[in-house]
């Protein structure tokens, strides 16, 4: 029995050592196989870069068919259905001829950079003047084909998911359904659907192009004309030209038979009396747009409005947009109050602007500006620092505007320009802000991005092998167990049996082992 105990202990140790060696061998083979299977990684572009030149329309869900319009429809500023119907033809490209001619390759479309203007105001600076200067700069930048320029409140609304995308889509769908019913000569259904579309488009008017509502009213009038509902058609056309007196019929969308009734409605409305409306806002200082045209900042009075229905939109930085419908009547001033709800995410932007404001002009901004990029998804930020230069007379003053163009991807200063702008009765001198915008982007490389020197490279994640899969783990376990088994066997072998004094022990000896756990 003693010798058998030794054999058992040695056998257990040997088996455990084999187990450890086997685990190590498997690990080495797996590592070699993994190394052989890994090829040199393909070179890929940086995050947010352009897709490969070989990408197809199937690879890019957002790709447009050849000849599609460059403008994109989106609530808050981009074109609507009428804009989407226009086509942009190619340049001077000609089909290749001859046997050796190669097919022309499609030119890669340049990426549009997301940009917005951010105000930096001195204390007690006039808010109406700041609004006017910022609006003019933004309007100029929107004409830059390399920029996706939107106003700050639109960017905020997109980030905070405050844009009524679902309502806008439902309104546009109702308009398209009405047009389809008209094309099928289902005139009663078309009239009902288009009338509903008009109401839905009015509800989301602050977030769409006003042309969309005008076209919906025209489509309703055409359907009423075809159904021989002449009084209803006249009422619809008069309603249209009341707020859109310069509306022109798109001959590609509507039949020429509607031209004469439209001119008759325009002539009728031009002879109607005019009235005025007093516009208030909570909080004060909101931008006021009457029928899509900027009128000033609240509180204010808007005069020379033809009697009838007019649409007043309110916009203020840090607040959601608002809409009020003003019904102008003769000899009785109307009054509307726009109550605006606070934007929940504006505090993040406001804090970031306050932090970077004092550092304007530095080659690189502080990391806090990353909050603007992550919040508004911006590539370029145009900071406008406005200061009074001189007050010349009542209602006339000079304002110094310093413009700083920063690439938020690298936090680097791309350009810095300054202009003195004369403002009269809250209106900037024509062309000065356009000149400033042109100078600001003169010589700027839209496609180049500097690397942030203070940003450490992103560490590569290495997959860790679990401890229990490592060969040395089981070897160590085997050694420990083998050592314990050997010590046990030796201890049992060397142990001499004993009997109590005065007793004689006979028979088989039974050993017991007590482990103090």
Read off the pLDDT of residues 252-297 as tens digits, 9 standing for 90 and up: 999 999 999 999 999 999 999 999 999 999 999 899 999 999 898 8
Peptide bond into 411 cis (omega under 30): no
Q: Which fold has domain 165-270?
A: 1.25.40
Q: What share of the chain is helix, strand, coil (3-state, %, to 5)?
A: 40, 20, 40
Confidence check: pLDDT of 63 > 80 = no
- Using 50, 70 and 90 to split pLDDT, how confident is the model at 54? very low
Across 23-37, 185-199, 437-451, least confident range: 23-37
Query: How distant, in Å, are the alpha carbons of 133, 326, 327 from that of 336?
Result: 26, 7, 10
Asked if the model's pLDDT at residue 368 lies above 70, the reply is yes
Taking the C-alpha atoms of residue 252 and residue 212, their distance in angstroms, rounded to an integer, is 15
Rounded Cα gap, residues 212 and 178, in angstroms: 14
pLDDT digits over 321-349, tens only?
999 999 999 888 999 999 999 887 788 88
274-339 CATH fold: Immunoglobulin-like (2.60.40)
The whole-number pLDDT of residue 317 equals 84
pLDDT > 70: percent of the chain:
67
Residue 435 pLDDT: 93
Tell me what pLDDT residue 506 has.
Answer: 58
Residue scoring higher pLDDT (473 or 244): 244
pTM score of the predicted model:
0.62
pLDDT score, position 419: 93
CA distances for 377 relative to 131, 141, 154, angstroms: 23, 17, 12
What's the whole-number mean pLDDT along residues 347-373?
87
The β-bridge relationship of strands 293-297 and 322-328 is unpaired
Provide the β-strand partners of residue 396.
393, 424
Question: Greater confidence, 315 or 25?
Answer: 315
Q: Residue 314 pLDDT more than 80?
A: yes
Task: Categorize the per-residue pLDDT at 455 as very low, low, confident or very high, splitting at 50, 70 and 90.
Answer: low
- CA triplet 134, 349, 295: central angle to 5 degrees? 30
| In contact, 376 and 116? CB cutoff 8 Å | yes
Angstrom distance (rounded) from CA 24 to CA 409: 47
Confidence of residue 91 (pLDDT cuts 50, 70, 90): very low
Higher-pLDDT residue of 74, 433: 433
Mean pLDDT check: name the lowest of 71-75, 119-123, 395-399, 445-449.
71-75
pLDDT band of residue 232 (cuts 50, 70, 90) is very high
Model confidence at 462: pLDDT above 70: no
Average pLDDT over residues 59-77: 38
CATH of 75-83+111-162+343-446 among 3.40.50.300, 3.40.190.10, 3.40.50.10610, 3.10.180.10: 3.40.50.10610
> At residue 28, does pLDDT exceed 60?
no
Banded model confidence at residue 89, pLDDT cuts 50, 70, 90: very low
In this predicted structure, the answer to whether residue 60 has a pLDDT above a threshold of 80 is no
Helix or strand (DSSP H, E) at 403: strand 396-407
Is the Cα torsion angle 197, 203, 207, 212 positive or negative in sign? Answer: positive
Task: Please tell me the predicted confidence (pLDDT) of residue 257.
Answer: 94
pLDDT of amino acid 263: 96
Task: Print burial letters for 326-354: b (CB count within 10 Å at least 16), e (below 16).
Answer: bebeeeeebebebebeebebbebbeebbe
Mean residue pLDDT of the chain comes to 77
> What are the beta bridge partners of residue 383?
118, 404
For residue 299, say if its preceding peptide bond is cis, omega within 30 degrees of 0.
Answer: yes
pLDDT of amino acid 464: 62
Distance CA 326, CA 324 (A): 6
Query: Residue for token digits 């419908």?
Result: 325
User: Which strand (E) or helix (H) includes residue 419?
Assistant: strand 412-424
pLDDT of residue 69: 38
Task: From residue 134, give the alpha-carbon distance in Å to each of 153, 281, 295, 314.
Answer: 12, 20, 15, 16
């Amino acid at each position: 029995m003693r010798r058998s105990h030794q054999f058992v202990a040695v056998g257990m140790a040997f088996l455990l050592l084999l187990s450890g060696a086997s685990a190590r061998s498997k690990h080495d083979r797996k590592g070699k196989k993994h190394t052989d299977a890994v090829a040199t990684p393909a070179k890929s572009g940086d995050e947010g870069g352009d897709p490969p030149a070989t990408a197809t329309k199937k690879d890019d869900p957002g790709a447009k068919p050849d000849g599609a319009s460059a403008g994109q429809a989106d609530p808050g500023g981009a074109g609507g259905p009428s804009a989407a119907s226009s086509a942009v033809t190619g340049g001077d490209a000609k089909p290749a001829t001859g046997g050796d001619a190669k097919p022309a390759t499609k030119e890669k479309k340049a990426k549009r950079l997301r940009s917005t203007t951010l105000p930096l105001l001195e204390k007690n600076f006039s808010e109406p003047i700041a609004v006017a200067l910022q609006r003019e700069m933004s309007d100029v930048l929107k004409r830059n084909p390399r920029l996706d320029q939107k106003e700050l409140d639109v960017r905020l609304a997109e980030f905070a998911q405050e844009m009524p995308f679902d309502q806008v889509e439902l309104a546009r769908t109702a308009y398209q359904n009405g047009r389809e019913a008209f094309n099928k000569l289902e005139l009663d259904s078309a009239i009902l659907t288009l009338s509903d579309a008009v109401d839905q488009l009015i509800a989301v008017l602050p977030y769409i192009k006003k042309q969309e509502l005008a076209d919906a009213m025209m489509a309703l009038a055409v359907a009423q004309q075809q159904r021989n509902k002449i009084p209803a058609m006249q009422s619809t056309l008069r309603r249209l030209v009341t707020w859109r007196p310069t509306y022109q019929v798109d001959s590609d969308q509507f039949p020429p038979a509607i031209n004469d009734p439209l001119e008759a409605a325009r002539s009728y409305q031009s002879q109607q009396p005019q009235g005025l409306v007093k516009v208030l806002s909570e909080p004060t200082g909101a931008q006021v747009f009457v029928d899509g045209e900027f009128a000033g900042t609240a509180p204010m009075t808007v005069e020379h409005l033809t009697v009838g229905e007019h649409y007043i939109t309110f916009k203020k930085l840090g607040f959601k947009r608002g809409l009020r419908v003003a019904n102008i009547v003769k000899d009785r001033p109307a009054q509307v109050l726009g109550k605006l709800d606070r934007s929940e995410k504006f505090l993040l932007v406001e804090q970031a602007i306050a932090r970077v404001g004092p550092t304007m002009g530095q080659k690189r901004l502080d990391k806090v500006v990353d909050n603007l990029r992550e919040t508004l998804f911006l590539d370029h930020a145009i900071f406008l620092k406005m200061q009074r230069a001189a007050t010349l007379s009542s209602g006339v003053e000079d304002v110094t505007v310093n413009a700083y163009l920063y690439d938020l991807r690298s936090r680097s200063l791309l350009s810095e320009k300054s202009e003195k702008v004369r403002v009269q009765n809250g209106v900037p001198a024509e062309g000065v802000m356009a000149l400033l915008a042109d100078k600001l982007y003169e010589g700027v490389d839209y496609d180049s991005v500097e690397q942030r020197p203070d940003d450490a490279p992103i560490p590569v994640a290495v997959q860790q092998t679990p401890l229990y899969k490592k060969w040395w783990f089981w070897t160590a376990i085997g050694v420990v167990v083998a050592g314990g088994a050997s010590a046990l066997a030796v201890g049992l072998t060397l142990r001499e049996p004993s009997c109590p004094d005065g007793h004689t022990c006979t028979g088989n000896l039974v050993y017991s082992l007590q482990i103090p756990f």
